Amino acid sequence: MEEEMKKYLSFGAGVNSTALLLLLTDQGEDFETIFVNHGGDYPETYEYLGYLRDKGFEITEIIPDVQGCHTILEYCYKYKIIPLKMWRWCTSKFKIRPIYEYIEKPCEMMLGISSDERKRRIIESRDSDIKNIFPLYEAGITRRHCIKIIKDHNLKVPRPSGCFFCPFMTKKNAMELYRNYPELYRKVIDLERNCNKPGYHLKQGIPFDKFAEADVPPLTGLLKK
């Protein structure tokens, strides 16, 4: 009889992966939840991780080790680079590789991509011993459904997962960072200034402060109103 492959859930502590964690648990699936702590998530994401653990969920935390660096920011400062859309080295080095180095193969890797995420490709693993599975996508479960699943389990809904210095962030994300996370915002500014490639910026050649602050009204104007 063929031995059943071990199953893993690639967990980002966001809406989709949390809903998938709950569904798999409800179905009685035997799997291990793994979270890569690359140091780039928002504070609320790490808080939510602790919140779920307090609720009894077991989550394995992986700390990357990339040429002696344990976080993406540490690596960026050391080599004077920044994450770029054209070359997603941060995802490869600090998210995918640490998982591949940790897991037992052959295995199934369950990913929380909802059925309405048209911009995210359903791709095969680069390792033939790892089979990517997309339960939410295959079941037609949308992000809205994911939020309902979390609420139906009487849990708080997490903020969207993602790095606070992601080159794919929207204008809205950047403005939120500027207004609500001044310490993280300063880290992004310092990250760009540390880069040894003149003209390289997270957002397509636009200095991040210009991108984030362009449409923010001055405080004096708000006070006059």
- Indicate if the pLDDT at residue 39 is higher than 80: yes
Among 152, 180, 202, the domain boundary falls at 152
Same domain for 179 and 145, yes or no, is no
Which CATH number is 77's domain given? 3.40.50.620
- Contact between residue 30 and residue 4 where contact means Cβ atoms under 8 Å apart: no
Residue 202 lies in a domain: yes
Same domain for 27 and 86, yes or no, is yes
Tens of pLDDT along 199-216?
A: 788 887 788 998 888 655
- Indicate if the pLDDT at residue 143 is higher than 50: yes
Residue 163 lies in a domain: no
Residue 162 lies in a domain: no
Structural tokens at position 172: 């809205």
Phi, psi (rounded to 5 degrees) for 32: -115, 130
Cis peptide upstream of residue 106 (ω within 30 degrees of 0): yes
Q: How far apart are CA 93 and CA 37, in angstroms?
A: 12
Confidence of residue 180 (pLDDT cuts 50, 70, 90): very high
Residue 164 lies in a domain: no
Q: How far apart are CA 189 and CA 210, in angstroms?
A: 10
Q: Residue 204 is part of which domain span?
A: 171-224
Q: How far apart are CA 74 and CA 57, in angstroms?
A: 30
pTM of the predicted model, to two decimals?
0.89
Number of independent structural domains in the chain? 2
Residue 145 lies in a domain: yes
